[in-house]
Amino acid sequence: MNLALTSPALADAGFSHGFFGRQGGVSQPPYATLNFSTAGGDDPAAVAENLSRAAAEMGVTADHIYYLSQVHGTDHRVLTGTEDREAVLCEQGDITLSSTPDVACAVRAADCAAVLLADRTTGAVAAAHSGWRGTEAQVAVAAVTALRSLIGGPGDLIAAIGPHIERCCFEVGADVAARLVAASPCGEAAVDRGSPKPRVDLRRIIDAQLRAAGVTTVDHVAGCTMCDAEHFHSYRRDGPRSGRMLAAIVARRPTAGG
């Protein structure tokens, strides 16, 4: 059983990665079954087993899957694989990145968009957590900037945007809609005003932000977390006791001449 959805563009470039949903784990309801957080009250042993299953699917060890305590900001953490996972988890930030082969950079989400980035030449990778606040702050662009700093140049970048709360379900107030329009290169095109409340297309905004930052290959891994309760956790749908999903990408060796 494949636990994760994948991006053809990242896979074709040789990057092990995955957007993990809620199926294939051992957590009991309400976290059933693939959950990657103990914050809502899940059994730590179940979460550890879930992480081990994700690691096995990506071909790495669980202690080399790194994510931070996310705060809807733009801070990043460069990783080498020598860090203690639990210590890194206590650090705040929303971007992980590495150029060390077999290090998996990850974020967790339950409606927010996960953005995975990779450089075809050096094999360096990054993961960003882009909820509406992170999208307003252009965290995906911050991840591109951090990755380019790590590799020492513009790189040959690929991005993939994973499942999240899509426009069909992402109703917001007029103030939030206005803030996201201001943060979006595509402006009003990202907002559907045909409903009583505005519905915002985060995917379209993040795509536009990445392309404005010079990322020409942007892949889309579809899925609405709120609509599809069978396959995805959703905080908006299930509340504070919802599970958390994992999105991760593994750094690889440089290509010949890279």
Q: Where are the domains of the chain?
A: 7-250
| Complete DSSP assignment for the chain | ---EE--HHHHHTT--EEEE-S-S--PPTTS-S----STTS--HHHHHHHHHHHHHHHTS-GGGEE--B--SS--EEEE-S-S-HHHHHTSB-SEEEE-STTPEEEEEESSSEEEEEEETTT--EEEEEE-HHHHHTTHHHHHHHHHHHHHTS---EEEEE--B--TTT-B--HHHHHHHHHT-TTGGGGEE-SSSS-EE-HHHHHHHHHHHTT--EEEE---BTTT-TTT---HHHHGGG---EEEEEE--PPPTT-
4-34: per-residue pLDDT in tens? 999 999 999 999 999 999 999 999 999 999 9
- pTM given for the model: 0.97
How high is the mean pLDDT in each 10-residue block of the chain (258 residues)? 93 98 96 95 97 98 97 98 96 98 98 98 98 98 98 98 97 96 93 92 98 98 97 95 96 83
pLDDT of residue 257: 60
According to CATH, the superfamily of the domain at 7-250 is CNF1/YfiH-like putative cysteine hydrolases (3.60.140.10)
pLDDT for the residue 258: 56
